[in-house]
Structure 1
Amino acid sequence: MQSHTHDLQFTGAEVRKRFVSWADGEADREWLCLELIQRHAPGIAPRPLRRESEDGHPVVIMERLPGDPLGGTALTSAQTASLGRTLRSLYDIPAEAVTAAGIAERRHGPSTLPGALGGWLSEGRDLSPCRDAALVADSVDAAREWLSRADGMPIPRLTGLGISDLNPANIMWDGRACRLVDFEDGGLTDPAYDLADHVEHLAGRLAGVFDPDALSVAVGLSADDRERMHAYRPLWAAFWLVMLLPGNGGFSRNPSGTTEAQANHFLKLIS
């Protein structure tokens, strides 16, 4: 089983995660996050077992979790409640412990994503391969304008640990509990920001996996943080819009019309 950053090997009770390179620090983040979770919230993620090097590639060996990955259909109420408890346990790992463990802000965190996204949105692109190039161009312009407004997003509150990538395939369900895998991009985060990322993840949103309101309540977000989560959602919708533009991998991997659907979704969020 392979991805662009790593490949996985399942051997009995263990999973070997072999990373493509050392360059982006994914193996270090994975290991440090799993160690920290084991100390503060054991049972919600794989137990880290050992680290190795294989043919010059970093390898993290971890416990193999029971259950099957979620995805494809909406979560049941029991799954939503369990996922909420799991995420709450993750977010309750205090920022002081995260930084003391040598873990920095999550990848595409609130201090870096807006600037990076502004640059991506400003790149000149040929939109002619799109089914509705005019709609996509209008949505890109709207995203650029929304991002430029100083009041477009809340001030981040970096209070705990986040997973960063909540593709439903990274949620293991054994019939009773949800556990999380894939912490290579994890780090210090704002729970409202993270949940906005999770509910806007393309793999989950297109399949209707997450109910944003139900999940935010299950996590225990305050009314203020639920408002902040809603305010962050256009940022992540714009991120996926960019990922689905011609020239990016998401455009070729998804069916024709997905970019237009994402454009409409973004415009609806900011309307």
Structure 2
Amino acid sequence: MTSERWSTHAVDLGTVTVTKRFGPQDGDRHAREWRALTLLAEHAPGLAPEPLHGGTDDGRPTVVMSRLPGAPLRGVRMGARETAALATTLTELHTCLPAARLAEVPARPGRPAGIAARIRTWQAAGLPRAQAPEVSAALRGGLRWLDGSDVARPSAGAVPAVFGPGDGNLANYLWDGARVRVVDFEESGRSDRAFEIAEVTEHVSAWLGGSLDVPGLLHHLDLTPAETARLTECRRLLALVWLFMLALDAPDRPRNPPGTAARQARRLLDLLG
């Protein structure tokens, strides 16, 4: 969900290749990246960069991959063509691995239980102060919803497992005018489709500086009734964690335009109904 905020890796963009060098705080991100690239090269060739070399450079894990064409969808006001292409890519990405191969993939980090625990930690420290009334109201409403939600404890087998890239940032989805391709698999792993779709629809990149047509995207995705119900809960959870992160933004070093937290608060309140 938020690997872009905390990852310590460096990225070198060559003419035809991309090299990622991972730092000591990145844990197993290099292994997740390499595993995802090799699996996708086998089962969905062309959807993601081709893995070229995995090793070390000055003791740092390194992954070298091909460079994909296209421009990031982040900051783009997406039309019908881009939205339909993104839906096609998400469907292929989530479902391309055979069940036996998917069962071998570790669960991705940042699952709902972990997100709920992070929110509870922030709650215990006290709600962010000096916020607009609608931000405080949305935070309180989101916490009341979380008290009664089982989003962190889905029923076993209620939704099928899928491969998840682990980051909904639209900067990781490249549009070349005909197809959407995907980069950045440091947080990838086994997941469920509702949560992965919510990662995209609720990422701040879906609306800040651009516009993702969420109803249009969902129209192209063939979800089961169980996935549809879970999607609503996952969207609320992710909207709440984003609101906390935006509300906790240091006022003397803001990373987002003024009013961003208030806009996120309105999004959460809409999702809460």
Is TM (by shorter chain) over 0.5?
Answer: yes
Q: Does 1:235 align with 2:234?
A: no
- RMSD, aligned α-carbons: 2.4
Give the match for residue 66 of structure 1. Answer: 69
1:98 maps to which residue? 102
Stretches of structure 1 that go unaligned for 5 or more consecutive residues are none
Report the Cα offset of residue 35 of structure 1.
1.0
Task: Name which of 244, 260, 263 aligns with 1:261.
Answer: 263
Contact 2:74 2:210 in 1 (8 A): no
Deviates more, 1:53-62 or 1:144-153: 144-153
Quote how far apart the aligned CAs of 1:65 are. Answer: 0.6
Instruction: Report 1:184-263 matches (<5 A).
Output: 184-246=186-248, 252-263=254-265
- The one-letter code of the counterpart of 1:213 is P
Q: Is the 8 A contact 1:68 1:174 kept in 2?
A: yes
Deviation for aligned residue 1:96: 3.4
Question: Contact 2:106–2:189 (CA<8 Å) still a contact in 1?
Answer: yes
Q: Which moved more, 1:257-266 or 1:214-223?
A: 214-223
Secondary structure of the residue that 2:11 maps to in structure 1? strand
Report the secondary structure of 2:101's partner residue: helix
Task: Verify the 8 A CA contact 1:74 1:210 in the aligned structure 2.
Answer: yes
**Partner residue, 1:33:** 36
Instruction: Indicate how the Cα distance of structure 1 residues 246 and 22 shifts in structure 2: closer, same or farther if over 3 A, else same.
Output: closer
Structure 1 residues 229, 3: CA separation in 2 closer, same or farther (over 3 Å shift)?
Answer: closer
Matches within 5 A, 1:166-185: 166-185=168-187
**TM-score, length-normalised on structure 1?**
0.87
Are the aligned partners of 2:112 and 2:151 in contact in 1 as well (CA < 8 Å)?
A: no
Inter-partner Cα distance in structure 2 for 1:230 and 1:86: 21
Tell me the equivalent position of 1:49: 52
| CA shift in 2, pair 1:22/1:240, >3 Å | closer
The structure-2 alpha-carbon separation of the partners of 1:21 and 1:193, relative to structure 1 and needing over 3 Å to count, comes to same
Give the distance between the partners of 2:266 and 2:77, measured in 1 at CA. Answer: 21
Cα distance, 1:56 vs structure 2? 2.3
Query: In structure 1, how many angstroms separate the alpha carbons of the residues matched to 2:212 and 2:262?
Result: 21
Deviates more, 1:60-69 or 1:119-128: 119-128
Select the residue among 106, 109, 125 that pairs with 1:107: 109
Are the aligned partners of 1:67 and 1:172 in contact in 2 as well (CA < 8 Å)? yes
In the alignment, structure 1 residue 15 sits paired with structure 2 residue 18 = yes
Unaligned runs of 5+ in 2: none
Residue 3 of structure 1: how far off its partner (Å)? 7.0
- 1:64-90 CA-to-partner distances (Å, cap 9, x unmatched) read 111211222322222222211111111
Verify the 8 A CA contact 2:159 2:226 in the aligned structure 1: no
Alpha carbons of structure 1 residues 47 and 242: separation in structure 2 relative to 1, 3 Å: same
TM-score of the superposition, structure 2-length normalised? 0.87
Structure 2 counterpart SS, 1:59? strand
Alpha carbons of structure 1 residues 42 and 25: separation in structure 2 relative to 1, 3 Å: same
